[in-house]
Structure 1
Amino acid sequence: MRPLTEEETRTFFEKLSKYIGENIKLLLDRPDGTYCFRLHRDRVFYVREDIMKKAGNVSRENLLSLGTCYGKFTKTGKFRLHITALDYLAPYAKYKIWLKPSAEQQFLYGHHVMKSGLGRITENTNKYQGIVVYSMGDLPLGFGVAARSTQDCRHADPMTIVAFHQADIGEYIRSEDTLV
């Protein structure tokens, strides 16, 4: 477990800022303690500093996980967010979409969001902007990337993709067999 390098930090914060913008500061300085991001086996973990210091007594080989996994770095150096970060990203999300009840199941199966399943969308959402996907009951379901801007969505065909799927809470069940 080590701090992120300058390049890793830049890549990681660029990805986070696509979803929560300047609210990254709120993740680090919280009223319940100071938190930090640490890298372990290509995965970025979000952990309270006092717990991180205590975990320093455990050898790298024996340490499996610490805190909440936000995602992992690929072999090419890109960062991919995991669904475990959803609970921390959702309250600070700048851009959101809400799905109709008929489209929730399709999204949870890993499909993109069609215009026919779109309930609402945050105003001024740009194309290729990171978004958090909610049910109409304000339950965060996952996150993705806007395929169309808010203005384009108003005039789009019902079968047009308006958001690309990135991750959803159904991944826990779909990847149940592959988890160690």
Structure 2
Amino acid sequence: MRPLTDDEAKLVFEKLAKYIGENVKMLVDRTDGVYVFRLNKERVYYVSETIMKLCTNVARDNFISLGTCIGKFTKTKKFKLHITALDLIAPLAKYKVWVKPSAEQSFIYGNHVQKAGLGRITEGTPQYQGVVVYSMNDLPLGFGATAKSTQDCRRADPSTIVVFHQADTGEYLRNEDTLT
């Protein structure tokens, strides 16, 4: 495990800022200690600095993971956020979308959110902005990007896509099914 380079850190923070805005600072300087980002086998981990220091005794070859995997770098050196980052970004999200109970299952199966399934949306959400998708019971289901702004959603046709799917909590089950 090694610290992120400046270019890697810039890509990670830009991606996180797409969803949580200026709250990125709150991820590093927390009230319960300092947290850091570390890279291992093209995956980025978010871990407490005290736990990271305790793990320096483990050989690199024996090391699998540490902390929470928030994403990975692709072969083209782009950063892709994983669903495991949902617990970190959901409480800090700047823009949120709530889906109706009838659209929850569709979203969890990997489909985009249509206007007919939209329950609520944060006021003033711009187009192509990163959003966290919630159920009407305030349970985070995943995240995506808005296809329409809040104003455009009001005038949209019920079959129009309003949120592009990027990741959801059902990925674990779908990925497990393809591995076996």
The bucket for the TM-score relative to the shorter chain is over 0.9
Which letter does structure 2 place at the counterpart of 1:88?
A: L
Q: How does 1:31-180 map to 2 (within 5 A)?
A: 31-178=31-178
TM score, norm. by length of structure 1:
0.97
Which letter does structure 2 place at the counterpart of 1:77?
A: K
Equivalent position of 1:7 in the other structure: 7
Which letter does structure 2 place at the counterpart of 1:102?
A: S
Count of residues paired in the alignment:
180
Distance 2:116 2:178 in 1: 33
Distance 1:25 1:168 in 2: 25
* 1:3 CA drift (Å): 0.5
Stretches of 4+ moved more than 2 A in 1? Answer: 177-180
* 1:31 CA drift (Å): 1.4
Question: What's the CA shift string for 1:16-72, capped at 9, x where partnerless?
Answer: 000000101111111111110001110000000011111121122211010000000
Which letter does structure 1 place at the counterpart of 2:116?
A: S
Distance 2:32 2:40 in 1: 24
More helix as a share of residues: 2
Q: Secondary structure at the match of 2:90?
A: helix
TM score, norm. by length of structure 2:
0.97
Q: Secondary structure at the match of 1:92?
A: coil
Which letter does structure 2 place at the counterpart of 1:115?
A: K
Gaps of 5+ in 2: none
Cα 1:63–1:50 shift into 2, 3 Å? same
Q: Secondary structure at the match of 2:71?
A: strand
Question: What's the CA shift string for 1:80-133, capped at 9, x where partnerless?
Answer: 111111011000000000000000000000000000000000011111100000
Q: Percentage identity across aligned positions?
A: 70
Equivalent position of 1:23 in the other structure: 23
Distance 2:157 2:58 in 1: 55
Which letter does structure 2 place at the counterpart of 1:59?
A: A
